[in-house]
Amino acid sequence: MPSLLDLPLSDPGVPDVRSGTRFLLWLEVRQWRGQLLATAWGTLHMAAVAAFPLPVGLAVQAVVDHSGRRLAAAGALMLLLGALTALGDTMLHRTAVTNWISVAARVQQLLARKTVELGAVLTRQVAAGEVVAVSTGDVEKIGWFVEALARFTSALLATVGVTVALLVYRPELGGIVAAAVPVLALAALPLLPAATRRADVQREKAGKATELASDTVAGLRVLRGIGGEDLFLDRYRRASQQVRAAAVHSARMWALISAVQTLLPGLLLVGVAWYGARLALDGQITAGELVTVYGAVGFLLMPLRNFEEIAMAWSFSRPSAKRAARVLALSRGGEAPSGTVSGDTADAAPAAAPPAAPGGDLCDPLTGLRAPCGLLTAVVCGDPDAAGRLADRLGGHSPSGRGGEPSATLGGQPLDALALAAARAAVLVQDKDPVLLSGTLAELLAVPSSGRVTPDEALAAAQCGDVLESLVQSLPEGETAPDPMRARITERGRSLSGGQRQRLALARSLVADPKVLVLDEPTSAVDAHTEARIARGLGAVRAGRTTVVLTSSPLVLDRADRVVFVDDGAAVAAGRHHDLLRTEPRYRAVVTREPDTGAAGTSAAAAPTTVPMEESA
């Protein structure tokens, strides 16, 4: 059982994500020591509380019989049981909370590891709102069920023990309790399916509201620009009201279940008290025995509440675990989803050192694209949406291996078949909307790198001079030698313009200096003069390295060693920029934004529409 001092875990394990139930079972197995300990302390606590009516009854009978010795013995037993109750309750709470936090931390580490593994592809496979819901509310519900199961186990043992003890102590009253307890425990079962359905509806609506809020916050700047804040605010308000109505609808059913769990045991207590009083008046049992039986039946109200709690915990945690398992089952490319192996054996296996990153040409068999090793290759896509998918595939981040699509290869080796560390060491993909983490500029550029490109060289190549000046102005006044590397960048670079964020992200990628760098529209937010200087600096810094730039900017295309035109999902032409302008009308139409007339310098009949793919730069 990991203690809170052991968090975060060095290895959260390989989860079984074939279903939500299997995922919960896997978490239970991983926490078995803590569960056993919590069950033991819970059983001690329940047993001490359940035994308390016995000394109370003995004390009452001692008073009736005027026995001071038995009264003192009963008082001593009460003190002992009180100490055991306090000890059991304290340690149960301690171990239960430890189990809850440990399970929640394990799930959060698994989600963080999956997020790092998938990168930008994660939000293309699952909605951002669902990821937020899983990492917040769902984690707590999963931890709740794992923690509540130990207390339910101790409550079940205590209920069976008290029932058996009453049968032995006073069979005439114990028989009534033994017949009633199964009915009380199972009385809420017919109501659970309806309660579960209502809870599922509530969670579904809450997830949609969270996703809507996440999308609204992410696009707030755009919404303000077009005056759409009120529209989205109304949409979120309606979604929020739907969540409220669903929550009230669900709470009513759980209130009914709680009422049943309170009413039926209360009726049993009244019935036992009435029948016991009749037996006491007839002289069949003593007053002390009546008090003992009454106290024991009253105790049963406490463990029976755990039956209601475990039903609620299961109802809420099952869909949460299912949602978490669905996120954790996502995989990059053709890699087998995690969760196919479970247990200590898989977790204990030492991690093999990642193989050396391969080298060679970067190829995409799906389109026929080839980026020669050591050259700057520019790629122009006739469909702008296809550029992002191609960038993901070239980085080995897309789920191309599923559904029969081939994986991109580097030096003849499929990227999807490589270990994640090796693939990322070989290929770095910069998305068209890169994220800047909060921190200083020095921390932003402190990325794993070869050391070949210094931060100053990368900043100069990315034309970040004005960005550095802006960051210097944000430093506290009075510094004699303000250093822009110590300037702080706000979350997601909100204080910077789009072009400034784009150039800082490019500088970060250049510092990393991977063998293969894939840039998706790296200069779309900068002006033409800056773009031309970036194109020159990129070629100089990346000399001898493989670089792929997905762009339609003539200024960048003119500096490329090789240009490939991808149209309708296939690489149809390759060569130098000016050659393609002259020989490929479709390419010319995309780059110059002119209609494809088939003329403009050469007729379609006089000029070929494709260039051999193996044409050298």
Distance between CA 113 and CA 103 in Å, rounded?
Answer: 15
Residues 536-572 pLDDT 10s: 999 999 999 999 999 999 999 999 999 999 998 899 9
Residue 132: name the closest of 215, 249, 74 by CA: 215
- Output 119 or 11, whichever has higher pLDDT: 11
Residues 512-532 pLDDT 10s: 999 999 999 999 888 999 999
Distance between CA 571 and CA 502 in Å, rounded?
Answer: 27
Q: Which residues have CB under 8 Å from 327's CB, separation 6+?
A: 111, 114, 126, 130, 131, 134
Average pLDDT over the chain, rounded to whole?
A: 81
pLDDT interval class at 352 (50, 70, 90) = very low
Q: Is the pLDDT of residue 601 over 50?
A: no
Least confident of 49-58, 214-223, 452-461: 214-223
Q: Is the pLDDT of residue 231 over 60?
A: yes
Please say whether the beta carbons of 38 and 365 come within 8 A.
no
Residue 499: name the closest of 473, 534, 474, 472 by CA: 534
Residues 425-468 pLDDT 10s: 788 988 887 888 888 889 989 988 888 999 999 999 999 988 88
pLDDT interval class at 224 (50, 70, 90) = low
- Output 332 or 149, whichever has higher pLDDT: 149
Residue 519: name the closest of 362, 412, 365, 367 by CA: 362
Please say whether the beta carbons of 375 and 341 come within 8 A.
no
Q: Is the pLDDT of residue 616 over 60?
A: no
Distance between CA 13 and CA 26 in Å, rounded?
Answer: 10
Q: What is the pLDDT of residue 557?
A: 94
Strand stretches in 322-366, DSSP E: 362-364
Q: Is the pLDDT of residue 349 over 60?
A: no
Q: Is the pLDDT of residue 334 over 50?
A: no
Instruction: Show the tokens assigned to 112.
Output: 């963080």
Please say whether the beta carbons of 207 and 133 come within 8 A.
yes
Residue 206: what residue type? A
Instruction: Show the tokens assigned to 526.
Output: 């900068």
Buried b or exposed e, range 9-43, using 16+ CB within 10 angstroms: eeebbbbbbebbebbbebbbebbeebbebbbbbbb
Please say whether the beta carbons of 19 and 116 come within 8 A.
no
Q: What is the pLDDT of residue 215?
A: 62
Q: What is the pLDDT of residue 475?
A: 78
Distance between CA 584 and CA 570 in Å, rounded?
Answer: 14
